[in-house]
Structure 1
Amino acid sequence: MNRPALPPRELRSYLEELVHRTRAVCGPRLVGVLAVGSLALGDYRHGRSDVDVTVVTDPALPRTALPELAGALAHPALPCPAAGLELVVYPADFAARPSGAAGYLLDLNTGPALPERISYDPRDAPPFWYVLDRSLAHQCGLPLFGGPVREVVAAPERADVLAALRASVREHADGEGHVADNRVLNGCRSVVYCRTGRWVAKRAAAEAVAASEETFRPLVADALRSFARPRESALALPRPAVRDFLAWVAERVDEAARAAGTGGAPTG
């Protein structure tokens, strides 16, 4: 799937205003703003997907600017037209080097369908979400402001990505707070990454897994049907089937880690 040249039409004015407000707060300390997640992969689904944004700033940005930025971008001060906004701010010196740490200055979750969260301490959250986002950002981040993405965000080491994937699979296996179809489709994307070293859209990953794994084909097909629906009307998928599928995904990640010479199952 080709990376989109522009964000979806439904989000363009919102993202323009987000960049405008971020520039107003950060001034010359702003290095870059990029869309990641489904926007970068060309698989954004309006009414279902979140807007994922990475912001990179000069390390000298005053820390007092971070609450100001959070206030300027939080819903409904800036009404989010998507299910939610997940925005992470990194200092440029951290973002420019490979790391398995969280490393953020600000982590903001906000929006009509997303629980509000503001954190300024990277110890508040497990690092795997941020490692995976930076890996995807380096591969295909969609620039909204600033220079070339690969000069701004470094790719984490493969061992760190595989450890993060294993932690992600554990998180989705627990199921709490995650829509069942998203748990299955994230598992598909993890498997495709292990096989190819590339991030692909959830639907493309699901099609690849369904084509090669007959056992899981019905579950993946149901997950795709559910993913086409709004988040609040997602289908209930059979828990034992989801559990068995994610256990299989975990085995594939562990195999990839052993093949990469990381010494067995990653610990996250």
Structure 2
Amino acid sequence: MSRAPAPPRDVRAYLDELTRRTRAVCGPHLVSVLAVGSLALGDYRHGRSDVDVTAVVAPSLPRRALPDLAGALAHPALPCPAAGLELVVYPAGFAARPSGEAGYLMDLNTGPSLPGRVSYDPQESPEFWYVLDRSIAHQSGLPLFGRPVREVIAAPGRPAVLAALRASVREHAAGEGHVADNRVLNGCRSVVYCRTGRWFAKRRAAETIAAGEEAFRPLVEDALRSFERPREAALPLPPARVRDFLGWVAERVEEAAGTAGGSTGSR
């Protein structure tokens, strides 16, 4: 397993304070705090990326602690220097077993560029986001506190991950609420996962697709150029080309699901 990179200087103090506040609220019930997403994959871009954090807690954590934690971490009570914070809290028993479910105790979205949201009911959210996040976390999660990631986050099975990718591609094809460049780059990462069984940073996955798929190279290169800009200044991409690309991505996911045995919904 490759060693996870250290958090970038832009968010290091923020992560330290987030971890301190999480420990203060959860006390001995806190098992681990992990940086996931772009931080774990070494592809965090200041002004563009969110800070993605996973916390794992013991079953003994009082449920009243969750609203307290949301209040302690919400922007601007804790000013977020990134586009936003996406923090998910899982119970230790759930996180330690493979699953295709959402399974969280709390999902907090907050920050200057992220609509504020807090949920305590996993039935309120599409499962696929959490399956993909836990798959990335198991592979590359960056420990900030507590037990190592492989001891607390189980890898969802490949059929569950492929089912989640299928749902993710549908979500990005719909386009609503997603920046066009991110839809393209997520599609690249999905195809590379289907081919390799590993998660790569969006930019690295996009470079792989651009090098090997001549028909989509101009679109992917445009998406990479746009991704260098702040989220609010993203470049427009031709909608028809984005739809065609995501249709091709969907076909690659379906092929991978067939190779895996066809039952992409198993948990």
Q: Would you say same fold, with TM above 0.5?
A: yes
Q: Deviations over 1:73-96 (max 9, x none)?
A: 000000000000000000000000
**Superposed displacement of residue 178, structure 1:** 0.2
Q: Which amino acid aligns with 1:121?
A: D
How many angstroms apart in 2 are the aligned matches of 1:3 and 1:236? 36
Structure 2 counterpart of 1:17: 17
SS where residue 118 of structure 1 aligns? strand
Are 2:206 and 1:179 aligned?
no
Q: Which amino acid aligns with 1:50?
A: D
Structure 2 counterpart of 1:232: 232
Q: Deviations over 1:180-211 (max 9, x none)?
A: 00000000000000000000000000000011
Structure 1 counterpart of 2:167: 167
CA RMSD of aligned residues (A): 1.5
Instruction: Output aligned runs, 1:204-223, within 5 Å.
Output: 204-223=204-223
Q: Deviations over 1:16-51 (max 9, x none)?
A: 000000000000000000000000000000000000
Are 2:50 and 1:50 aligned?
yes
**Any conservation in 2 of the 1:84–1:110 contact (CA below 8 Å)?**
yes
Structure 2 counterpart of 1:115: 115
Are 2:104 and 1:137 aligned?
no
SS where residue 17 of structure 1 aligns? helix
**Superposed displacement of residue 6, structure 1:** 1.3
**Any conservation in 2 of the 1:184–1:246 contact (CA below 8 Å)?**
yes
**Superposed displacement of residue 267, structure 1:** 10
**Any conservation in 1 of the 2:159–2:266 contact (CA below 8 Å)?**
no
How many angstroms apart in 2 are the aligned matches of 1:237 and 1:7? 31
**Superposed displacement of residue 266, structure 1:** 6.0
Q: Which of 1-10 and 46-55 deviates more?
A: 1-10
SS where residue 35 of structure 1 aligns? strand
Question: What is the TM-score of this pair, normalised by structure 2?
Answer: 0.98
Q: Which amino acid aligns with 1:207?
A: E
How many angstroms apart in 1 are the aligned matches of 2:17 and 2:175? 34
Structure 2 counterpart of 1:81: 81
Q: Deviations over 1:33-71 (max 9, x none)?
A: 000000000000000000000000001111000000000
**Any conservation in 1 of the 2:5–2:40 contact (CA below 8 Å)?**
no
**Any conservation in 1 of the 2:33–2:143 contact (CA below 8 Å)?**
yes
How many angstroms apart in 1 are the aligned matches of 2:107 and 2:238? 33
**Any conservation in 2 of the 1:167–1:267 contact (CA below 8 Å)?**
no
Q: Which amino acid aligns with 1:243?
A: R
SS where residue 210 of structure 1 aligns? helix
Judging changes above 3 Å, is the alpha-carbon distance between structure 1 residues 199 and 56 closer, same or farther for their aligned structure 2 residues? Answer: same
Q: Give the 4+ runs in structure 1 shifted more than 2 A.
A: 1-5, 265-268
**Any conservation in 2 of the 1:166–1:266 contact (CA below 8 Å)?**
no
Structure 2 counterpart of 1:244: 244
How many angstroms apart in 2 are the aligned matches of 1:206 and 1:160? 23
Identical amino acids, percent of aligned pairs: 78
Question: Unaligned 5+ residue runs, structure 2?
Answer: none
**Superposed displacement of residue 5, structure 1:** 3.3
**Superposed displacement of residue 4, structure 1:** 3.9
How many angstroms apart in 1 are the aligned matches of 2:54 and 2:254? 29
**Any conservation in 2 of the 1:34–1:144 contact (CA below 8 Å)?**
yes
How many angstroms apart in 2 are the aligned matches of 1:50 and 1:73? 14
**Superposed displacement of residue 2, structure 1:** 5.6
Are 2:49 and 1:32 aligned?
no
Q: Which amino acid aligns with 1:78?
A: L
Q: Which amino acid aligns with 2:205?
A: A
How many angstroms apart in 2 are the aligned matches of 1:255 and 1:152? 31
How many angstroms apart in 2 are the aligned matches of 1:88 and 1:119? 10
